[in-house]
Amino acid sequence: MKKLLKGLREFKTSYFATHQALFEELSHAQRPRVLFITCSDSRIDPNLITQAGLGELFVIRNAGNIIPPYGATNGGEGATIEYAVHALDIQHIIVCGHSHCGAIKGLLKLEKLEDEMPLVHDWLKYAESTRRLVKDNYGTYSGEELLEVAVAENVLTQIENLRTYPVVHSKIYRKQLHLYAWVYMIETGEVFAYDPVSHSYMLPQSQLPELAKDESLTNMFPACDALIKDADDEEIEEVIVHEVANSHKHRSQEATAQTYHRSEELVVPGNRRIPTTPLSPEQQDRIYRGSAAR
């Protein structure tokens, strides 16, 4: 506590003193454009890893960066999402998981938590879709590799759950809201973003045409394979719709199971444990439902 109290004094006399105009402006209103949903883990700092300024991120934090489906609970997550999208006119929602996540470790051994931490057990049940998907489709993984896959798949599960919220679904339909699935690697400082076209996690700048051509970012992350270099939003959407349609038409149950087998063909060679992580047909249908009909 002494360190925290000392920090309060230093904040008031140093940072606050040199940014009074900003705090005066923020005292009247907040205008964030990004809702950042991440874990409560003390090793994760959304503003630090994104270098976002004060007032730029609206943040939800909980164990496992879990978003219960709409109507499943009257908890604060749903209310905060609704407020962010409707009242603050949030334009981007990021769900960011992280390596070595204790909540996901607990999810993988959920039955052991019921007696020791019943509230944690009940909370993690909202990520049962993740646990079952990993159990059924990643049987060849174990240890840290299994954990990293579970973290990556859990982020996609929460993206699915976000789409069940009427206010989110409506704004996505009008192309006024965009969802992003990220995984932060504590040990390297890298962030990987899920790309629905290639069904893989890659460095996030490769998903935006204007950033894919940024030499400073390219030099910083030379291993990144920018697959959408010159595509605009409509072209990307057409590719996604085509992928979903083909998936439902051609993929048998056997082929679907095979897509989950361990793959060494990674988009980013620097991260050897996050595999190409495909959406299942069920996930594709839930995430992109309605896209082909527009």
Residue pLDDT, tens place only, 81-137: 999 999 999 999 999 999 999 999 999 999 999 999 999 999 999 999 999 999 999
Given a cut of 60, whether residue 1 has pLDDT beyond it is: yes
The per-residue pLDDT for 212 is 54
pTM here is: 0.74
Render pLDDT for 268-280 as a digit per residue (tens, 0 to 9): 333 334 544 444 5
With vertex at residue 21, the alpha carbon angle to CA 18 and CA 23, rounded to the nearest 5 degrees, is 90
Which tokens sit at 246? 């083909």
- Cβ atoms of residues 170 and 121 within 8 Å: no
The per-residue pLDDT for 263 is 32
Q: Cα separation of 76 and 40, whole Å?
A: 14
The per-residue pLDDT for 275 is 46
Q: Cα separation of 226 and 238, whole Å?
A: 18
- Cβ atoms of residues 119 and 102 within 8 Å: no
- Cβ atoms of residues 147 and 108 within 8 Å: yes
Q: Cα separation of 239 and 245, whole Å?
A: 10
Summarize the confidence of residues 217-245 as an average pLDDT. 36
CA-CA distances (angstroms) from residue 117 to 112, 124, 293?
A: 9, 11, 45
Averaged pLDDT score across all residues of the chain: 78
Which tokens sit at 13? 């006399």
Summarize the confidence of residues 185-209 as an average pLDDT. 84
Which tokens sit at 151? 């973290």
CA 85 vs. chain centroid, Å, equals: 17
- What confidence category does residue 282 fall into, taking pLDDT thresholds of 50, 70 and 90? low
Summarize the confidence of residues 27-35 as an average pLDDT. 95
The per-residue pLDDT for 186 is 95
Task: Name the residue ranges covered by the structural domains of the chain.
Answer: 26-287
Note every long-range contact of 273-276, with CB atoms under 8 Å and residues 24 or more positions apart, other chains counting: 273/144, 273/145, 273/148, 273/149, 274/148, 274/149, 274/152, 274/183, 274/192, 274/201, 275/149, 276/198, 276/199, 276/200
Please name the residues in contact with 155: beta carbons below 8 A apart, sequence gap of 6 or more: 65, 95, 96, 97, 181, 182, 183, 194
The per-residue pLDDT for 197 is 81
Greatest mean pLDDT among 8-17, 60-69, 233-242 lies in 60-69
- Pick from 87-101, 127-141, 162-176, 201-215: least confident: 201-215
The per-residue pLDDT for 231 is 34
What class, spelled out in words, does domain 26-287 have in CATH?
alpha beta
The per-residue pLDDT for 277 is 47
Partners of residue 188 on adjacent β-strands: none
pLDDT over 90 percentage in the chain: 64
Given a cut of 60, whether residue 166 has pLDDT beyond it is: yes
The per-residue pLDDT for 30 is 96
The per-residue pLDDT for 210 is 64
CA-CA distances (angstroms) from residue 147 to 107, 129, 255, 276?
A: 10, 15, 24, 15
Given a cut of 80, whether residue 69 has pLDDT beyond it is: yes
pLDDT over 70 percentage in the chain: 70
Q: Cα separation of 123 and 110, whole Å?
A: 10
The per-residue pLDDT for 171 is 96
Given a cut of 60, whether residue 68 has pLDDT beyond it is: yes
